[in-house]
Amino acid sequence: MEGWTLTTWLAVTGIMVAAYLLGSIPSAVWIGKKYYGIDIREHGSKNAGTTNMLRVLGKKAALPVFIIDYLKGFCAVILTSFMRYDDAVSDSCIINLRIIATAFVVLGHIFPIFAGFKGGKGVATLLGAGTGIYAPVLILSFAVWCIVFAIWHYVSLASMIAGCSYPIFVIIFSTMTYNDNAPFGSVPFIVFSWVVAVLLIWTHRKNISRLKDGTESKIYLWGGPNDDTKVNKD
């Protein structure tokens, strides 16, 4: 960060604020209230995220929530690309800024200023941010998610296992040689990948208890018992 001007610092600060505000867009809360007349945080698992929308309101409600939450993370990371126009900002700094932007956008999703600081778990937002940082590793982790979900139909279990696979893939890719745009060799990126894994475990601690008790709800996207029209108030 040597040679950074006041303008550079102000631009970086603006990106961080923008990332938090993007994360704070409570798509599940707004869609639930406007189109279904409910606060999703008062139903199901009381989580303002895609999974609870799917469980409570069905696929038609869950899909736009997932898309919006994914784009929040992706756009927050891509915002840092504007810093490439500043000669004082190196490629390694861009990588670190993307990681910081991810932290802020996920923070906004979990503690949204537009929804009383009570949001979701940030899985879809992390997915979008991870795509913006380096897509190949994210795609592999998402493949793990799909496999686990297809076998057991637990979104929480799939999210946790995919999250834990993320730093493993990062380490594997770090041993290989890629182009200069890849973030490998960046210690902050490796640390970030482990933080992601720990964060997903922490935000799913209640799900872990339900999995142990056998009370965690399964989700079926096709051919299962999901009802797209009934609000589950349990």
What CA–CA distance (Å, rounded) separates 121 from 179? 33
Query: What does the CA dihedral 113, 119, 121, 122 come to, rounded to 10 degrees?
Result: -40
- pLDDT > 70: what percent of the chain? 89
Q: Residues 43-97: pLDDT tens digits?
A: 998 999 999 999 999 999 999 999 999 999 999 999 999 998 888 888 888 888 9
Q: Which residue has the tokens 């895609």?
A: 50
Query: Which pLDDT score, from 0 to 100, does residue 85 have?
Result: 87
DSSP 87: T
* Under 8 Å between Cβ of 91 and 6: no
DSSP 181: T
* Under 8 Å between Cβ of 197 and 2: no
Query: Which pLDDT score, from 0 to 100, does residue 234 have?
Result: 41
Q: Residues 160-211: pLDDT tens digits?
A: 999 999 999 998 887 765 545 556 567 888 899 999 999 999 989 999 999 9
**Two tokens, residue 190:** 């490796």
Query: Which pLDDT score, from 0 to 100, does residue 232 have?
Result: 47
What CA–CA distance (Å, rounded) separates 112 from 115? 5
- Residue 225 confidence class, pLDDT cut points 50, 70, 90: low
- Residue 130 confidence class, pLDDT cut points 50, 70, 90: very high
